[in-house]
Amino acid sequence: MTRALLITYVWPPTGGVGVQRVLKLAKYLPEQGVTPAVLTVANPSVPLTDVSLLRDVPEGLEVLRARTFEPGYATKQAAWKEAREGAPAPGLAARIKRSVMGLARQALVPDPQILWQPDAQRVLLQRLRARPDDVVFITAPPFSMFLSAPLVRALGKSAVVLDYRDEWLTLRTQYEMLSRWGAVVGDTMEHTVLRCAHAVTVATEAFRESLLDRFRFLDPARVRTIPNGYDPDDFPVDPASAPEPPTDRFVITYAGTVFKQNSPRGLLAALRTLHAREPELARLLRVRFIGRIVDTELDAFEGSEALGVERVGFIDKDQVTPALSASHMTLCLLDIMPGAERIYPAKIFELMYLGRPCLTLAPPGALADLSRAHQLGPVIAPRDEPAIVDELVRALRSFRAGTFSRRAGAVGIERYHRRAIAAEFAELFREAAALASRSR
């Protein structure tokens, strides 16, 4: 058996889609001849928890925990809001607090989770000295996780595999550029950790091409595209016999966090136009948003209740699938932003398996191509208001006439089963371990 240590900041009961990639690896790797263990944070500073995810943690899995020195998430959120709004701080104490927050924002590069690294590297060093694993797999974001790679490489006992769930460059333009220091050292930091890797995995082929273009020293054979996927066990019933949507209204459901990257502003503008143009038809429509909506996007939802928009908020994952099933269409969002052409949300694979028609609002690129290749449903640019309105009118008229089909014709999705994804990782782990062994 190959032994693999999985280093991740996100681990149950932390909630959110980012947990799924490493959690499903831990679940399915033993079937592929790999014994996993996990190193994660003992006191995560995160916005969401979801205890239902704990059922996927394999019995007997070794989980190591190290403490982070981060403040609680509410404190971080307040600091970000104050920095974003830039309101004058009254009083000496408030001004001092604001100055401290500003200094912290400048210093904590690439992200606040770097405050986990001191204790994480202590625990990692103890483990690898006592009983080195064949492979140390480090998944990000947060990208401060990659800072463990030099330590692992220096010990020379384990292969290093760096896993990009998202693209560091894209997150850098959104977050690290808030820090002048981050703007200076970001590329250098990424270059340094990549030099330590025996193999690199990315979630999309477009990510891979971008990474190879930016870091020419990387061996293309060691940079592998392994997508996210779906797990049938997450679905309480067979999709073919899933709950029926209502007959008196047409329901479209989005599940996931709403933030700048997947802003629904184009859709919400289209809903306003639809209600003005086809008020009787528009009254049949309900659009549900399940999940957290970050502060920067809340203004887009003002008055949206009158448009048939329902904000459900965050619910546990085992409640999400039935809600998606009881919909006529699902919704996948990706707004126009730098790097959007290289991104697709991990949720798209679960929507694939569910089999409802999926309305994909995305710019040209990886997500649009994926949706078209697997025939998931209509694909429209996220700010093309007239085209979105036309699609909603088409769907609503079909629904009213009783001819709308709730089954999508998704094809060729077997490759994305989490078991198949784990098999790809297991093969890569063995290759990386063999490479590390030869280079000692």
pLDDT bucket at 368, cuts 50 / 70 / 90: very high
Average pLDDT, the chain: 89
What's the average model confidence in pLDDT over 253-273?
Answer: 95
Non-local CB neighbours of 83 within 8 Å, separated by 6+ positions? 101, 102, 105, 178
Confidence of residue 401 (pLDDT cuts 50, 70, 90): very high
What is the per-residue pLDDT for 39?
98
The pLDDT value given to residue 112: 87
Query: Following DSSP, what letter does each residue of 205-257 receive, concatenated?
Result: HHHHHHHHHH-TTS-GGGEEE----B-GGG-SS-GGGPPPPPSSSEEEEEES-
- For residue 53, name the pLDDT band (cuts at 50, 70, 90): very high
Tell me the mean pLDDT in the region 214-241.
89
* Surface-to-core class of residue 96, CB atoms within 10 Å of its CB (0-12 exposed, 13-18 middle, 19+ buried): exposed
**pLDDT per position as a tens digit, 118-174:** 999 999 999 999 999 999 999 999 999 999 999 999 999 999 999 999 988 877 665
- Backbone dihedral angles phi then psi of residue 203, each to the nearest 5 degrees: -85, -20
Determine contact, residues 162/193, Cβ cutoff 8 Å.
Answer: yes
pLDDT, average across residues 74-99: 58
pLDDT recorded at residue 48: 84
Q: Is the pLDDT confidence value at 85 over 90?
A: no
What's residue 91's pLDDT? 64
Tell me which of 69-83, 210-224, 256-270, 294-308 is least confident.
Answer: 69-83
**Residues 25-39 pLDDT 10s:** 999 999 999 999 999
Residue 319, pLDDT score: 87
Task: Give the Cα separation of 186 and 181 in Å (integer).
Answer: 8
Residue 176 has pLDDT above 50, yes or no: no
The structure tokens listed for 191 are 């270059």
Averaged pLDDT, 191-198: 97
pLDDT score of 309 more than 90: yes
pLDDT of residue 411: 85
As a whole-number percent, the residues of the chain with pLDDT over 90 amount to 72
Per-residue pLDDT, averaged over 97-124, amounts to 78
Q: Which domains does the chain have, with CATH numbers?
A: 2-72+110-229+417-438 (3.40.50.2000), 232-401 (3.40.50.2000)
pLDDT confidence of residue 25: 98
Q: How confident is the model at residue 352 (pLDDT cuts 50, 70, 90)?
A: very high
- Rounded CA-CA distance 415/398 in Å is 32
CA pair distance 227, 204, nearest whole angstrom: 6
| Average pLDDT rounded to a whole number, residues 334-343 | 91
CA distance 239 to 379: 22
Q: Indicate the pLDDT class of residue 108, thresholds 50, 70 and 90.
A: confident
Per-residue pLDDT, 177: 40
φ/ψ of 419, rounded to 5, equals: -65, -45
Residue 221 has pLDDT above 70, yes or no: yes
pLDDT higher than 70, residue 179: no
Are the CB atoms for 385 and 266 separated by under 8 Å? yes
Predicted local distance difference test score (pLDDT) of residue 180: 57
Residue with token string 């997947």: 262
Q: Rounded mean pLDDT of 326-353?
A: 93
Task: Give the range among 89-93, 241-245, 337-341 with minimum mean pLDDT.
Answer: 89-93
Q: How far apart are CA 26 and CA 59, in angstroms?
A: 11
Answer yes or no: is pLDDT of 92 > 70: no
Share of the chain above pLDDT 70, in %: 88
> pLDDT confidence of 201, banded at 50, 70, 90?
very high
pLDDT of 178: 47
| More reliable by pLDDT, 230 or 242 | 230
pLDDT of 89 higher than 70:
no
Looking at 80-94, 103-117, 327-341, 393-407, which range is the least confident one? 80-94
